[in-house]
A and B are shown apart, each in its own frame.
Chain A
């Protein structure tokens, strides 16, 4: 599976949009981009995933560049409860059960 690169940490203000970048320059055609987050003392939580089109659900939006080498997770109105470690993961559709978690981005939402 392709490796991802994320900034180790970022801060954002409560009520503002949080834009979390992820680079996956070696991604191949059959690999999806997944985002999970892990709030302190809890297990990871699925947020969203996509292949090449932008995706939106009740939690977030995922913007994938046209060349698919990077993506951005957008939390439209960050709240204090969004403080967590966010993981960007690339997973092959053929390597069907392996989610390889990296170090992620520690996002701190400040009041």
Chain B
């Protein structure tokens, strides 16, 4: 248990669906991150939030829409996804942006049909 909780653990959605991934951290951290891990590929950084402000949008398509309502919660809203978006989506947090340690959740395994 790392103090970062992601829900749901598994999600299957059609290309026309809208769904949201949720991340919650109980560590009092000020920075939160979304990473994508596709099969056979390295982790890719998608978004970075620091003190609830987005500081990085790593050329991610607009069908992925992040939201950080407070420093403990991070959402990834999904709409009109493609099958190639199927991947493990990982949330992480750190004390502040640039802190030495990132704490990851267990991820949401997303399948787009």
Give A residues with C-beta under 8 Å from B: 36, 41-46, 49, 96-104
Give B residues with C-beta under 8 Å from A: 2, 4, 31, 33, 42-43, 45, 48, 50, 55-56, 90-92, 94, 97-98, 100-107
- The B interface is mostly helix, strand or loop, or mixed, namely strand
Residues of A within 8 A of B92 (CB): 43-44
**A98–B75 Cα gap in the complex (Å)?**
20
Residues of B within 8 A of A97 (CB): 31, 33, 48, 50, 55-56, 94, 97-98
- The A interface is mostly helix, strand or loop, or mixed, namely loop
Residues of A within 8 A of B102 (CB): 36, 44, 46, 99
**A43–B91 Cα gap in the complex (Å)?**
8
Can you list 6 A-B contacts (CB < 8 A)?
Answer: A36-B102, A43-B92, A43-B104, A45-B2, A97-B55, A97-B94
A-B CB proximity, top 9 nearest:
A43-B104, A96-B98, A101-B43, A46-B101, A101-B42, A43-B90, A97-B97, A44-B104, A97-B98
Q: How far is the CB of B88 from chain A (nearest CB, A)?
A: 9
